[in-house]
Amino acid sequence: MQHRILPQPKSLRFTAGAPVPGPAVPTVVFDASLPAEGYAISVTPSGITIRHSTPQGLFYARQTLSMLQSADGSFPCAEIEDAPRFAYRAFMLDSARHMQTPDEIKRYIDVAARYKMNVFHWHLSDDQGYRVESERFPLLNEIGSFRREHGFGSVNRSRYGGYYKKDEIRAIVSYCAERYIRVIPEIDMPGHTKAILASYPSLSCRETPVQPETRAGVFRDILCAGKDETVAFCCDLLDEVCDLFPDEWVHIGGDEAPKQRWQACDRCKDRMAKAHLDSFEALQGDFMNRIAAHLREKGKRAVAWNESLKSGCLDSDVIVADWMDRDKLCPARANAGGAIIAEDFFHYYLDYPYAMTPVKKVYTFDPLPEGLTDFGKAHIIGVETPLWTEFIEDFEKLCTMAFPRLLAVAERGWTPEEGCDYADFVRRAEAQRPSLAASGIAMDPQRDWDPRGPDRLKKLLAHYKKTLTKEMLFSFLQKEDD
């Protein structure tokens, strides 16, 4: 019997008997033997019973039950036992390059919760804008939250910017909490900080004025890792951010930080000598560790992108986000007991076109990298699907990039490997279209999900001219799984 439940439950068995007519009020039973996020549903001709051990498990049971309901409102007899494969199932939204309204963000969150995702990683600071209201550092909003052009190759030349008011952020955090979603804010450092440096130029090595960026890319002006004032600024800033975000984890970036400015900076070199650091990568590790230590004192834990592992000295409790780990430092980290989040650039980045990252490529990606021991496997804590917005200005476009690929990651994060079947996923994903539309979420037309042959090549080349280098194009094609 076909159904439209997504993600696919761990175990589902349809049983004999007349369906229960809707609307039906389930009997809810506490069962301490069930895992924290797990639940069981039993539908028999005499009624519906949900068993759970936590409010979150009950919440997920209700999501499943709503998808079990037939078009006529009745519930087929079935026995379902369910629990997630991974504890961490995240979606990342970039609100630094282009902002979304709080209402749009809530719509996205609401739908992600329906598919049992439980972490919202919110990217709030980058070269092109700082997006958190700051009373402590008002120039971050006056200067760092606005750029002189909409930018990124768009024809729109008007000034662009804004930031989320503290009350708006608190409302989003509580909206998430009601849906059992943690919110992890990201303030990227020491790179991707031109909006911060535009506001406070003394935090850089050269102290020369810069402006918030209007282009996409990686930029040489980064925070000076040699100045104690810079570290103190970051700690104070994170104190203010942490007041808004109660979650234990805080993402502090640590990606794409070119070292040219540090190489020419006496203070950076002084810090290296003082801390006995033998490379500029190690200086980045030292910088990240100083910030992580501050968070630790507050009872918090840092998350960092995988580049920070190149230092060779990143504190062992820092959670590592693996987006581009060509050097295979992440499997080694996991094998040594460090926590890793799987969010591979070639498979889980939702801002790349379907020609580049077809739905099947997302779905068939194994979140466990090669080279893991059994001990290491247990330290891949979950999956995350990032969505960057350099080239995504409006919410409808954002949604058609995310859906159905976000659903594919949600299922891979929840369902055991043996329960994943691509053809069946496609059918169930398409079946979500009416409920997504009812929630104000547009899904990409199914004919575009897996472009093939000349059609795919044409679409790839069109994108390549706009935003991709030749090297990136080849890298994508090399990472094909089929």
Q: Where are the alpha helices (DSSP H) in 298-372?
A: 329-335, 345-348, 359-363
For residue 72, the SS3 value is coil
**Is residue 256 annotated as a catalytic residue, yes or no?**
yes
Least CB distance to Zn ion at residue 205 (A): 3
Least distance from C-beta 202 to Zn ion, angstroms? 11
Amino acid sitting at position 270: D
Phi, psi of 88 (to 5 degrees): -115, 115
Q: Choose the binding region for Zn ion from 54-62, 139-147, 167-175, 263-271 (rule: CB under 5 A).
A: 263-271
Q: How far is CA 33 from CA 30, 52, 87, 359, 464, in A?
A: 9, 8, 18, 36, 53
Check if the beta carbon of residue 131 is closer than 8 Å to that of residue 199.
Answer: no
Residue from 126, 188, 247, 390 carrying the catalytic annotation = 126
Q: Which sign, positive or negative, has the C-alpha torsion 132, 134, 139, 142?
A: positive
Of residues 183 and 205, the one with the C-beta less far from Zn ion: 205
Is 265 an interacting residue with respect to Zn ion (CB under 5 A)? Answer: yes
Q: Does 304 bind Zn ion (CB under 5 A)?
A: no
Active site residue 343: no
237 and 131 in contact (C-beta within 8 Å)?
A: no
Would you call 192 a catalytic residue per the annotation? Answer: yes
Between 4 and 267, name the residue whose CB sits nearer to Zn ion: 267
Stretch that binds Zn ion, among 181-189, 261-269, 331-339, 417-425 (CB under 5 A): 261-269
Residues 185-214 that bind Zn ion (CB under 5 A): 205
Q: Are 402 and 115 in contact (CB under 8 A)?
A: no
Options 79-87, 131-139, 162-170, 267-275: segment touching Zn ion (CB under 5 A): 267-275
Considering beta carbons, is residue 20 or 265 the nearer one to Zn ion? 265
| CA–CA gap between residue 141 and residue 273 (Å, rounded) | 36
| Residue 257 found at the interface with Zn ion (CB under 5 A) | no
The β-bridge relationship of strands 47-52 and 27-30 is parallel
CA distances from 368 to 356, 473, 477 (A): 21, 24, 20
Per CB under 5 A, the list member of 43, 124, 143, 224 interacting with Zn ion is 224
Applying CB under 5 A, the site for Zn ion has a residue count of: 6
- Of 226, 367, 386, 451, which one interacts with Zn ion (CB under 5 A)? 226
Find the shortest distance in angstroms from Cβ 225 to Zn ion: 6
Q: Is 223 helix (H, G, I), strand (E, B) or coil?
A: strand
Shortest Cβ distance from residue 197 to Zn ion (Å)?
12
Which of these segments, 28-36, 40-48, 224-232, 401-409, binds Zn ion (CB under 5 A)? Answer: 224-232
Catalytic site residue from 3, 98, 121, 192: 192
132: phi > 0 → left, psi -120 to 50 → alpha, else beta; which?
beta
Residue 9 in contact with Zn ion, rule: CB under 5 A:
no
268 binds Zn ion (CB under 5 A): yes
CB 244 within 8 A of CB 218: no
Please give the DSSP secondary-structure letter assigned to residue 70. -
Which residues have C-beta within 8 Å of that of residue 477, sequence separation ≥ 6? none
Q: Which of 79, 256, 430, 444 is catalytic?
A: 256
Residue 268 beta carbon to Zn ion: minimum distance, rounded to whole angstroms:
4
Catalytic residue list: 126, 192, 256
Binding interface with Zn ion (CB under 5 A): 205, 224, 226, 265, 267-268
